[in-house]
Amino acid sequence: MELKDKLVSSFLAFENTVDVDAPVHDIRSQAIKTFEEKGFPSKKEEAWKYTSLKTVLKHDYSVFPKEENALEFRDVKKYFLHDLDTYKIVFIDGKYSSHLSETTHDKIDVCLMSAALTRDKYRVVIDNYFNKIAPKDGLSSLNTAFSKEGAYIYIPKNKLADKPIQIIHLSTGKESAQLLQPRNLIVVEENSHVQIIERHQSLTDNAVLTNSVTEIFADKRAVVDYYKIQNDNQEASLIDNTYIEQQTQSLVSVHTFAFGGNITRNNLNFYQKGEGINSVLNGITIIEGKQHVDHNTLVHHTEPNCESHQDYKGIFDERATGVFNGKIIVNKEAQKTNAFQSNNNILLSDKATINSKPQLEIFADDVKCSHGCTIGQLDDNVLFYMRSRGIGEKEARALLMYAFANNVLESVKIPQLKSRINKLIANKLNVNIGFDL
Amino acid sequence: MLEIKDIHASVEGKEILKGLSLDVKAGEIHVIMGPNGSGKSTLANIVAGKEEYEVTEGSIFLEGEDIEELAAEERAHKGVFLSFQYPVEIPGLTVTNFMKTAINETRKAQGLEEMPAKDMLKKIREKSELLEIDRKFLSRSLNKGFSGGEKKRNEIFQMAMMEPKLAILDETDSGLDIDALRIVANGVNKLKNQDNAIVVITHYQRLLEYIVPDFVHVLYDGKIVKSGTKELAFELEEKGYDWIKEDIKV
């Protein structure tokens, strides 16, 4: 049976596991209909021209988490940012692991979507925010239909989350192929701040497909820093759908570190709904082998005096393929918009490719919008210069790649995270530079 | 220190050096002058080990060891330094981090421990003062947005940091105003001692008002056609290279 049919027919079984009288269930049943109509995207769609899900969809995925699998912290410690005090929401094969987690209800809520979707005390927030900005495309609808578990973060007004929050998804590979569909909701009210780090990690070579949806709401003057670490196994694919709505003078930044996996697709959409908003989209992609990373971004400016800054760097070796598709829409009312986009790439091999496509739709006349895209190789003259100073060829190449990605790394605000990303890059490039840039 | 024997070298199949020999002893400063296209930069690059330059005949010895087969970084580890005519820019890599890496990679290759951070900072401070380099330059991306003069000063700063046995200064004086020239020359003079050697490649004799060479050589059409002392440089300045061409014909 095709995965689509399997999923549609599984919905009945899924309904036995949730409260079908809850208001959110109407949203789910509507969503499964939408998915049934639209299905998975194909390469015929412009937005999926360079990313094919065909090979990923052919696995016979187990579509619900079957049992609770336990893991010892010491065995998975390396996937945590463990030298930093954080809240943790940890899932093993899609099921919440209370053993590995550290949640809170003290002034702020850092807890589970399953609780938020079922308990009365969260009812107002769910009514106001759940599924309000996720678009009605096939993949988001699929996630919505099966939405049950994920991270729920609610920061009421004038609160500073006292420590960063890690959301970690671990896959044990007990099933030969596992589909995971986490659903996250993050609501940050006026003047509040939060920092979130998200990671998906498969522990074996069995196939994993994650179709994740995250909705983030940043109210007036809220500050949200979101970091995504995508450094997964060769058999793990990720479709990350992140939708962000920002109100007046809020600042939201999303950093995406795409260092591996089979197929990684990031749909990252920012919807600005007020004035004086700043949206920051930064990314570093370093991949090799046959890995594929696709960044599909949208920033929609609707009101005057807002900014957006996009800076994506990519390094592609062997047969790796990259896609950058960055769309900026500036409405007629959004005068004095400053929208910047840059996508710079280095191809280390003749077989590596990058497809980079900016799309600017500007309807206002008094705006500053720029986009730039470069594709290059490491310059032999620069390498010779470095080697003539005693730096070996391998180290010189790595140092150049570090330098290339440095300004994105610089903007990481959590020092321990920055240092971790530094180490991940050093591991990927197989060098020990001896200092953090 | 450096012994070049009858070297022939080509780039992309075109022969540039046609049997050049040069003998530089420790404690000496040699100046190499010559018209454009005579092979001056090729000479600098083959000693530093640039791979695009193919040595077809002859050999290069550093302290008696044939270095012709060595990679550029291995030559650097043995004490060869090239001050580039056109220093490259590396956005995202600070001067300090570049030097730290260069020095520690060299020390690693020499079987030494990494230099302690405190010593490194002290050395950076001393050498930047010697070259009158503002400290804020050291935290900026290497050569990015530097003026021509700042780039050249930065080259000599790197030389001071690396403490090479053999330094080749490839047109380090071109593009310098008189103050920068004085600073660079002063730096070079301070770095000079009885155990190292310097080869200065230049177009002009004005540098020689500050740096006193032991020998001056004229490079023409891939060969050294005339060698002498400082006076040769002044004679060249006065008579121009046509005089050399005439001289060769005779």
Using a pLDDT cut of 90, give the percent of chain B over it: 64
Which one-letter DSSP state was computed for residue B85? S
Q: Which helix (H) or strand (E) holds A246?
A: strand A236-246
| Cα(B31)–Cα(B97) distance, integer angstroms | 32
Phi, psi of A345 (to 5 degrees): -135, 150
Number of A/B CB contacts below 8 angstroms equals 85
A93-108 pLDDT, tens digit per residue, is 999 999 999 999 999 9
How many other CB atoms are there within 10 angstroms of residue A62's CB atom? 16
B75 contacts chain A (CB < 8 A):
yes
Q: How large is the average pLDDT for residues A394-400?
A: 90
| Residue A301: per-residue pLDDT | 98
Q: Which of A358, A354, A350, A352 is nearest to A329 (CA)?
A: A358
* Residue B179 pLDDT greater than 90, yes or no: no
Distance from the A411 Cα atom to the nearest Cα atom in chain B, whole angstroms: 13
pLDDT of res. A434: 55
What is the arithmetic mean of pLDDT over B111-123? 93
pLDDT in tens, A204-213: 999 999 999 9
State the average pLDDT over residues A384-405: 92
A405 touches chain B (CB under 8 A): yes
Cβ contacts of A381 on chain B, cutoff 8 Å: 88
User: CA A266, CA B171: separation in Å to the nearest integer?
Assistant: 50
pLDDT class of B250 with cuts at 50, 70, 90:
low
Most confident of A17-21, A58-62, B132-136: A58-62
Residue pLDDT, tens place only, A270-318: 999 999 999 999 999 999 999 999 999 999 999 999 999 999 999 999 9
Of the candidate ranges A141-150, A152-161, B18-27, B34-43, the one whose mean pLDDT is the lowest? B34-43
Average pLDDT over residues A177-194: 97
| pLDDT on residue A423 | 87
Measured CA to CA, the distance from residue B37 to residue B220 in angstroms comes to 8
Which tens digits make up the pLDDT trace of A352-379?
999 999 999 999 999 999 999 999 998 9
Reported ipTM:
0.95
In the predicted model, is pLDDT for residue A79 greater than 90? yes
**Percent of chain A topping pLDDT 70:** 99
User: Under 8 Å CB-to-CB from A62, ≥6 apart: which residues?
Assistant: A175, A176, A177, A178, A179
Residues of B in contact with A386 (CB under 8 A): 90, 98, 102
Query: By CA distance, what is B141's nearest residue in A?
Result: A403
Contact B93 A392 (CB under 8 A): no
In angstroms, the CA A317 to CA A346 distance is: 9
Q: Please measure the distance between the N-terminal and C-terminal CA atoms of chain A and give it in whole angstroms.
A: 50
**Residue A400 touches chain B, beta carbons under 8 Å:** yes
Q: Is B215 on the interface with A (CB under 8 A)?
A: no
* pLDDT number for residue A435: 53
For testing contact with chain A, the best of B47, B88, B94 (most A CBs within 10 A): B88
Task: State the amino acid at position A432 in one-letter form.
Answer: N
B205 or A335, which is more confident: A335
pLDDT, mean over chain B: 90
Q: Which amino acid is at A124?
A: V
CA A413 to CA A415: how far, in whole Å? 6
- From chain B, pick out residues whose CB is under 8 angstroms from the CB of A406: 92-93
What value does the mean pLDDT of chain A take?
A: 94
Antiparallel, parallel or unpaired: β B215-220 and B223-228: antiparallel
Mean pLDDT of B166-187: 88
Q: Which residues pair with A264 in a beta bridge?
A: A238, A293
Q: Are strands A183-188 and B53-62 parallel, antiparallel or unpaired?
A: unpaired
Across the interface, of A380, A385, A393, the residue whose CB is closest to B84 is A385
Q: Which residues contact A229 (CB under 8 A, 6 or more apart)?
A: A197, A198, A199, A257, A259, A421, A424
A404 burial class (0-12, 13-18, 19+ CB within 10 angstroms)? buried
Determine the residue of chain A that is closest to B116 in CA distance: A434
Which of A62, A73, A243 is CA-nearest to residue A170?
Answer: A73
Express as a percent the part of chain A with pLDDT over 90.
87
Q: How confident is the model at residue A433 (pLDDT cuts 50, 70, 90)?
A: low
DSSP label at residue A148:
-
Residues 6+ apart with CB under 8 A from A271: A133, A243, A244, A245, A246, A300, A302
Q: Give the model confidence (pLDDT) of A132-172 as tens digits.
A: 999 999 999 999 999 999 999 999 999 999 999 999 999 99
Question: How far is residue A296's CA from residue A266's CA, in Å, rounded to a whole number?
Answer: 6
Residue pair A70/A63 in contact by the 8 Å Cβ criterion: no
User: Which residues in B lie closer than 8 A to residue A402 (C-beta atoms)?
Assistant: 92-93
The Cα A261–Cα A201 span in angstroms is 9
pLDDT level of residue A437 (50, 70, 90 thresholds): very low
Query: Average pLDDT for residues B5-12, to the nearest whole number?
Result: 93
Kindly report the backbone phi and psi dihedral angles of residue B245, in degrees, each rounded to the nearest multiple of 5, phi listed first. -60, -45
Are B101 and A387 a contacting pair at CB < 8 A? no
Q: Are A175 and A209 in contact (CB under 8 A)?
A: no
pLDDT at B176: 84
Q: Which of A70-74, A153-157, B90-94, B183-187 has the highest mean pLDDT?
A: A153-157
Report how far apart the first and last C-alpha atoms of chain B are (Å, whole number): 33
Alpha helices in chain B (DSSP H): 40-48, 72-77, 95-109, 117-130, 135-138, 148-162, 178-191, 230-239, 241-249
Enumerate the residues of chain A whose CB falls inside 8 A of the CB of residue B48: 384, 388
Chain B residue with CA closest to A433: the answer is: B101
Q: Which residue has the higher pLDDT, B250 or A415?
A: A415
Angstroms from A386 CA to nearest CA on chain B: 8
Whether B76 and A387 lie within 8 Å, measured CB to CB: yes
DSSP designation for A222 = -
Residue A70 pLDDT: 85
Residue A231 has pLDDT above 80, yes or no: yes
On whether any CB of chain A is under 8 Å from the CB of B103, the answer is yes
Count of all residues that appear for chain B in the document? 250
Query: How many angstroms away from the CA of A311 is the closest CA of chain B?
Result: 14
pLDDT at B35 over 90: no
Say if the Cβ atoms of B91 and A403 lie within 8 Å. yes
